[in-house]
Amino acid sequence: MKRIGILTAGGDCPGLNAVIRVVGKAAHQGGLEVVGVEDGYLGLCEGRMRVLGPEDLSGILTRGGTILGSNNKTDPAACRVREGDRVVVKDLRDEIVARCRDMGIEVMVVIGGDGTMAGAASLCQRGLPIVGVPKTIDNDLWSTDITFGHDTAVTTAAEALDKVHDTASAHHRVLVVELMGRHAGWIALSAGVASGADVILIPEIPFRMEAVAEKCLQRNAHGKRFTVISVGEGAIPVGGQEFVDRVDPDSPDPIRLGGVGRFVAQEVERLTGLEARSIVLGHVQRGGTPTPRDRMLATEFGHHAFELLQAGQWNRLVVQREGRTGSVPIEEVAGKVRTVPVDHPLIRAARGIGTSFGD
Amino acid sequence: MKRIGILTAGGDCPGLNAVIRVVGKAAHQGGLEVVGVEDGYLGLCEGRMRVLGPEDLSGILTRGGTILGSNNKTDPAACRVREGDRVVVKDLRDEIVARCRDMGIEVMVVIGGDGTMAGAASLCQRGLPIVGVPKTIDNDLWSTDITFGHDTAVTTAAEALDKVHDTASAHHRVLVVELMGRHAGWIALSAGVASGADVILIPEIPFRMEAVAEKCLQRNAHGKRFTVISVGEGAIPVGGQEFVDRVDPDSPDPIRLGGVGRFVAQEVERLTGLEARSIVLGHVQRGGTPTPRDRMLATEFGHHAFELLQAGQWNRLVVQREGRTGSVPIEEVAGKVRTVPVDHPLIRAARGIGTSFGD
Amino acid sequence: MKRIGILTAGGDCPGLNAVIRVVGKAAHQGGLEVVGVEDGYLGLCEGRMRVLGPEDLSGILTRGGTILGSNNKTDPAACRVREGDRVVVKDLRDEIVARCRDMGIEVMVVIGGDGTMAGAASLCQRGLPIVGVPKTIDNDLWSTDITFGHDTAVTTAAEALDKVHDTASAHHRVLVVELMGRHAGWIALSAGVASGADVILIPEIPFRMEAVAEKCLQRNAHGKRFTVISVGEGAIPVGGQEFVDRVDPDSPDPIRLGGVGRFVAQEVERLTGLEARSIVLGHVQRGGTPTPRDRMLATEFGHHAFELLQAGQWNRLVVQREGRTGSVPIEEVAGKVRTVPVDHPLIRAARGIGTSFGD
Amino acid sequence: MKRIGILTAGGDCPGLNAVIRVVGKAAHQGGLEVVGVEDGYLGLCEGRMRVLGPEDLSGILTRGGTILGSNNKTDPAACRVREGDRVVVKDLRDEIVARCRDMGIEVMVVIGGDGTMAGAASLCQRGLPIVGVPKTIDNDLWSTDITFGHDTAVTTAAEALDKVHDTASAHHRVLVVELMGRHAGWIALSAGVASGADVILIPEIPFRMEAVAEKCLQRNAHGKRFTVISVGEGAIPVGGQEFVDRVDPDSPDPIRLGGVGRFVAQEVERLTGLEARSIVLGHVQRGGTPTPRDRMLATEFGHHAFELLQAGQWNRLVVQREGRTGSVPIEEVAGKVRTVPVDHPLIRAARGIGTSFGD
């Protein structure tokens, strides 16, 4: 082998540069050339690539973002391409495979999430050997117990909860922090337990506003005149439609205008008379210097990807299960979400000390 | 003198506990007893006070919030009091002064902002000697160059800007971060300069969306395909009404539904076709362990308050001007706001390297 | 069951308070009373205990240290007790068991390391039911893959390495950071990989100074005029006696005067002529707010201990293996150390990108 | 003017890159070319310089160290130069001035401390116009109230004190942290006050070990069984020779073997029988991402330097006094040290709450 490629696709995630660094450095040590693709599949479609030298890989271990750029909208099977005046949607997979072959790229390391891996699998089938490295701050990727970036996101989220905790206790308020996690509640659960949130609401456990309100009142009655609520953005009340209706009945897109965090704060005020505030932490969770743990995990995953690549074990995705790093066929992860089991030890522990899940 | 009181009022602010600690410890060293009032003026109206011993003051220097609780809604001249079934508004100032006298509280140390000091001045006039310590994360209090809590808020805000910077650069986006500062742009300016924001929008400099959009496009043209915008919540476009109208014409309270950060993101998308996102950092800016600098400043301010108190220099507010800690009459600060001068050195420096202020 | 006890023993470790909190709160939820023992076995010998109420457990989740105090010198079988003028060594185990029985303490939750668990096992044998929770920042406790506190220590260590990296690169120096880990190199390895150290020296892999010096010169020759070395305090050169001799031949305790970090820096200067500096991070690694991950792990471990206790599964130690929390007999851990396997994935990954282990 | 130069000299300091960035970007905005000199005066002597483009200045605001490299051993009047086999010391000032003239460098921005400015003044006299920017983490530079880097160093130091505070309180120990500051105690004082150290020892106030020991015992007697001591590396006991003698009487360089921190810990143990430990924080204080405040200050200083340069105000050093940024003649700072006044407000405040300065 002489030349390998590498690309990052999907939403931003701390640790991407750590993976690029270890794959690139290991390749250089092994006498291989490394080609970095810009902006995920978009750059692959458009042929924007550059050779990465040692100086490109230096000093990036601690940096958030990705030196290659990313893009979370492109499917190689349905690329939006400009043709003259018009934008047309085209299947560029054969073209991509041919271009990589022309450039001498023998294997492509693809770092991305669920959607990215679906695209990778389809490129594999057409002849571009691929090794996948899983990436999601949400930690909801099927087949791996943990992914890099998640620990950093949880840390950012827990620090925000710690901070509003001060304010909530000083002002006797209910403070709701809406965290990322559309399909799975890992961030809201982890940060909530880490920060001692009084109520944790996650997509896996539909909540009743009455139970949430009761918890706030009950704390008040016990002299704890504040409540901190950690809520995943995908959490929904029992009877979801009611939620949509209440947020803003006249709006064409009520959830976007409000979000579940705001809904919970408004409903707490309505049901209890207590003062409530909400914040949406948003993209802050995707950035920042990765935690040491995420840098280690990204380094381990990236190196395992390189070992697979050297061993000719293509079309596989690096995973960690039961504490061991290994791999599974890329196809295995498509279209599945790893949600939080409702009897997860952290949920049991939180319930054990009186934390409410709104059910 | 035998007994002094201390209370914290207004919005939360990192460093409150550091002030309480130094005033309390200095009083104990001087043989005085310290009475802590709960929940600001509300507790004073309701007579909720307790003696603070050494153990109450131990370990609180690094903690956000306030061990006394605060309240940002109560004016001693217009207290909402429950009488039987009804809530009535009463002037409780004479009652408060009498109660403090009965309890042997000879001077009250009041830690708070603009509104708090207006209340303090009126209690002074009725015979309760007061020493004021200024508090505002916004740094917009008249008569002092700096207040504790601001450095912590700027640090939190700059860290958020640093984090979205990663994501913006990875995804070629415009990212707008709305920061606190209704009347003055100190946080948005300071954090913006500290984090290298490309556009900084503050209340003191009305902005034109066209100028903001142009900056984004210009960066794009120079190959920098992302833009980070730091915006103070009180920033308004030239012709403010237009802003209110555009955010959501049908809403009774359009700003609350959106806010200026969201407005800017939407308008950037409309005017440039670039992808834009906004986040509102919110209450996270009010909490957290104070920075070492804020702990020092709070300690210096608190100790100066104690020195004023010992010297019988009542009805004065601790301030820092031109690097020196001193004091001014409490009345001096009422109803005034310290805004950012439009030729502030940080603005000059930022303009000097091409940062846009939207004008 | 009506009453349980809890104690923390051994060196300081972030997360101790998180365990105390969850055990205490779960006990309160279950209607049990919780007695906290002060200063580990010492307090148990001396009968210093107090009932912990809800207010004692509030606000401690994020605090380093232990609200109960600890002590790392006392073995219940050989307690130093003052009798009149003299200090005598006595076996107090029967006395301790009797006192706990008198106080109605039915089970004792003991949080500690290797030595602590040996003591716990011997108390068990005499009739005091015990549930153990493992604690070590070094992560070298036999039978569990991970313990709380370690992630915080690694984070502190990696931040120090990140900082000296700046200085090393600005000044073209070799910078050696000596980290904790007398018997196992987990901290030096983890922080070294996380921070991209160029050389990592751990007790498990004896090093040759010639190899370390060569790495420094080789980097220099490639234009990288700085080298960062992460070294565990227990690392020793091949032929350990030589090391002891060179540090300071006249001193009765040469290692204490110097330490391996200083030795490495001196030898690098001698062998290469490059400027080298060393720092010993020391006790900073034992303190600080636990990372969110350590707070979660401590919460999970503490809750599992409570579940064991409720199920009557005494004389067991909580562990995590292959990602699952469970328990083993307390006796199992005594006298064993979990060292780093020399083919650990992090070592493989580090070697794969050219990191030297000095062998 | 067409071309300016910039160099960083002396010890490492967070914020150097922020100055380089703002000077470079402002120069680019003004149509000037910027030449970066490598490794301080050493690179100037050796002619190692390179033109800095916009891409060199991008992304460096938050990075510690200096992209130009530094060197703290070179005096342009006495450069060590290799001539054939020998190293000779030469006065290269005329050569440097001539080389800059040949390269078209019309003004040189020099970022450095006391020693660096002495060199700069002598180059000025020979015809190389210079604008100086002060740099020292110790904050002991004459003529300016504050310099960038100091806030970051204080933050690092205070975080270390916070962490050992946990351990000290858990284990009932005396913990001594030795901080930077050979000639002035700004870091030890500031971090000590910020972190609530019980004893603060600085070079400006010679200390008696008896007073330090008494404070430890006194705290013990009041039930506070731990003491945290912040000590500047230049602090000396009353009668300095005694200190040198006691550390290690047989050693040719006793202080290097021990340092004042270790001395204090040993003496506390000897005088009180309490368990004491010391750590030397060392170079960690010089690195790391600058705090937002240091980034602002560096940006303001750098921009002011550029304004001086544009206005033809050469041979001046940027300073901040009484909250205002201005400048003084470079010669003014040579050979002077700004020490802590013994009646500094922070010292008064600390004494007011019982902190001991060992006198």
pLDDT tens digits along D177-199: 999 999 999 999 999 999 999 99
D324 touches chain B (CB under 8 A): yes
Which listed CATH number (3.30.379.10, 3.30.460.40, 3.40.605.10, 3.40.50.460) goes with B153-283?
Answer: 3.40.50.460
pLDDT on residue A89: 87
pLDDT of residue C287: 94
Six-digit token string for C38 = 């002060």
User: Which residue of C74, C169, C224, C227 is the best one to mutate when testing the D interface, meaning the one whose CB has the most D CBs within 10 A?
Assistant: C169
D93 compared with C242, residue with greater pLDDT: D93
- Whether residue B287 and residue A71 make contact (CB cut-off 8 A), yes or no, is no
Please check the confidence at residue D100 and state whether its pLDDT lies above 50: yes
Mean pLDDT of D75-83: 82
pLDDT band at B245 (very low <50, low <70, confident <90, very high): low
Are A171 and B72 in contact (CB < 8 Å)? yes
Please tell me which chains touch A, using 3 or more CB pairs under 8 Å as the contact test: B, C
Does the CB of B166 have a partner CB in chain D at under 8 Å?
no
Residue B266, classified by CB atoms within 10 Å of its CB into exposed (0-12), middle (13-18) or buried (19+), is: middle
Q: Which residues of A touch C352 (CB under 8 A)?
A: 22, 25-26, 29, 303, 306-307
Cα–Cα–Cα angle for B109, B114, B115, nearest 5°? 85
Position with higher pLDDT, A1 vs A233: A233
Residues of chain D with Cβ-Cβ distance to B300 below 8 Å are: 345-346, 349
Min distance C63 CA to chain D CA atoms (Å): 8
For position C114, what pLDDT does the model report? 87
pLDDT at A251: 45
Catalytically active residues of D, by annotation = 138
With CA atoms as reference, the chain C residue closest to A346 would be C300
Label residue A246 by pLDDT band (50, 70, 90). Answer: low
The DSSP result for B70-93, as a single string, is --SS-BTTBEEEEETTEEEEE--H
The reply to whether C3-148+290-333 and C152-286 are identical in fold is: yes
Cβ-Cβ contacts under 8 Å for D83 (sequence gap 6 or more):
none
C-alpha to C-alpha distance for B227 and B190, rounded to whole angstroms:
17
pLDDT score, position C77: 87
pLDDT at B42: 86
- Shortest CA distance from B222: residue in chain D: D54
Q: Copy the structure tokens of residue D77.
A: 């009047």
Residue boundaries of the structural domains of chain B: 3-148+290-333, 153-283
pLDDT at C246: 57
Best probe of the B interface among D154, D285, D296, D348, by most B CBs < 10 A, is D296
- What would the mean pLDDT of B261-279 be, rounded to a whole number? 93
Catalytic residues of A: 138
What whole-number distance in Å separates Cα of residue A278 and Cα of residue A266? 9
Q: What is the pLDDT of residue C249?
A: 43
User: What is the value of ipTM here, to two decimals?
Assistant: 0.94
Tens-place pLDDT, residues A65-114: 999 999 876 788 888 777 888 888 889 899 999 999 999 999 999 999 98
Which range is least confidently modeled, B199-203, C16-20, C278-282, D21-25?
Answer: C278-282
| Average pLDDT estimate for C170-193 | 95
pLDDT recorded at residue D252: 45
Q: Is the pLDDT of residue A278 over 70?
A: yes
Q: For residue A348, which residues of chain C lie inside 8 Å, CB to CB?
A: 303
Residue C278 sits at φ, ψ, to 5 deg, of -130, 150
C194 and A162 within 8 Å at the Cβ level: the answer is: no
Q: What is the CATH number of domain A153-286?
A: 3.40.50.460
Model confidence pLDDT, tens digit, residues C306-331: 999 999 999 999 999 999 999 999 98
Share the mean pLDDT of chain C: 92
Q: What is the pLDDT of residue D246?
A: 57
What's residue D24's pLDDT? 98
CB pairs under 8 A between A and C: 134
Contact B16 A156 (CB under 8 A): no
Pairwise CB contact (< 8 Å): A69 & B280: no
* Yes or no, beta carbons of A353 and C25 under 8 Å apart: yes
Q: What is the mean pLDDT of residues C44-51?
A: 90
Contacting residues of B for A65, CB less than 8 Å apart: 165-167, 169-170
Mean pLDDT of chain B: 92
C269, two tokens: 């200067």
Question: Percentage of chain C with pLDDT > 70?
Answer: 94
* Res B273: pLDDT: 93
Catalytic residue among C12, C114, C138, C294: C138
Give the pLDDT band of residue C256 (cuts 50, 70, 90): very low
What is residue D255's predicted lDDT score, i.e. its pLDDT?
Answer: 45
The predicted structure's pLDDT at residue A243: 63
pLDDT number for residue C81: 76
Are the Cβ atoms of A283 and B250 closer than 8 angstroms?
Answer: no
| Partner-chain residue, chosen from D167, D257, D283, that has the shortest CB–CB distance to C167 | D283
pLDDT at C253: 44
- pLDDT value at D112 more than 80: yes
Subunits close to B (at least 3 CB pairs below 8 A): A, D
Distance, CA of B318 to CA of B330 (rounded, Å)? 9
Q: Look at residue C254 in the predicted model and tell me its pLDDT.
A: 42
Give contacts of A 77-136 with C, CB under 8 A.
none
Decide the pairing of beta strands D33-37 and D49-51: antiparallel
pLDDT for A256: 45
A145 burial class (0-12, 13-18, 19+ CB within 10 angstroms)? middle
What 8-state DSSP symbol labels residue A104?
A: T
State the smallest CA–CA distance between residue C353 and chain A in angstroms.
Answer: 5
Report chain D's mean pLDDT, rounded to a whole number.
92
Average pLDDT over residues A38-45: 90
CB contact under 8 A, A167 and B64: yes
Over pLDDT 90: what percentage of chain A?
77
Mean pLDDT of all residues in B303-328: 96
A49 by DSSP, 3-state: which?
strand
Structure tokens at A176: 């709701």
Count of alpha carbons within 13 angstroms of residue A116, beta-carbon side:
29
Q: Which residues of D touch C17 (CB under 8 A)?
A: none
pLDDT of residue B246: 56
CA atoms of B195 and B169, how far apart (whole Å): 14
Rounded mean pLDDT, B109-131: 93
Tokens of D208: 């008696």
A60 interaction partners in chain B (CB closer than 8 Å): none
Q: With beta carbons less than 8 A apart as the criterion, state whether A237 and A207 touch.
A: yes
pLDDT tens, residue by residue, B58-86: 999 999 999 999 987 678 888 877 788 88
Q: Is C167 an 8 Å CB contact of chain D?
A: yes
Give A249's pLDDT tier (boundaries 50, 70, 90): very low
Tell whether B188 lies on the interface with D, counting CB pairs under 8 A: no
Among chain B residues, CA nearest to D291: B155
Give ∠ CA A97-A103-A105 in degrees, rounded to 5.
70
Alpha carbon of D194: minimum distance to chain C alpha carbons (Å): 15
Q: At what angle do helices B345-352 and D16-29 cross, to 10 degrees?
A: 60
CATH classification number, C152-286, choose in 1.20.120.1200, 2.40.30.10, 3.40.50.460, 3.40.50.2000: 3.40.50.460
Confidence of residue D75 (pLDDT cuts 50, 70, 90): confident
Q: How far apart are CA D148 and CA D290, in angstroms?
A: 9
CATH number given to D3-148+290-333: 3.40.50.450
Mean pLDDT of the region A105-130: 93
pLDDT over threshold 90, residue A358: yes
Q: Do residues C254 and C266 make contact, with C-beta atoms less than 8 angstroms apart?
A: no
- Is B6 strand, coil or helix? strand
What is the mean predicted confidence (pLDDT) over B125-136? 95
By the CB < 8 Å criterion, does B151 face chain D? Answer: yes
Instruction: For residue range D278-336, list pLDDT tens digits in order.
Output: 999 999 999 999 999 999 999 999 999 999 999 999 999 999 999 999 999 998 887 78
Tokens standing for residue A190? 């982890």
**What's residue B49's pLDDT?**
94
* pLDDT, mean over chain A: 92
Is residue D245 predicted with pLDDT exceeding 80? no
User: Which residues in B lie closer than 8 A to residue A63 (C-beta atoms)?
Assistant: 166
Q: How confident is the model at residue B297 (pLDDT cuts 50, 70, 90)?
A: very high
B158: closest chain D residue by CA: D292
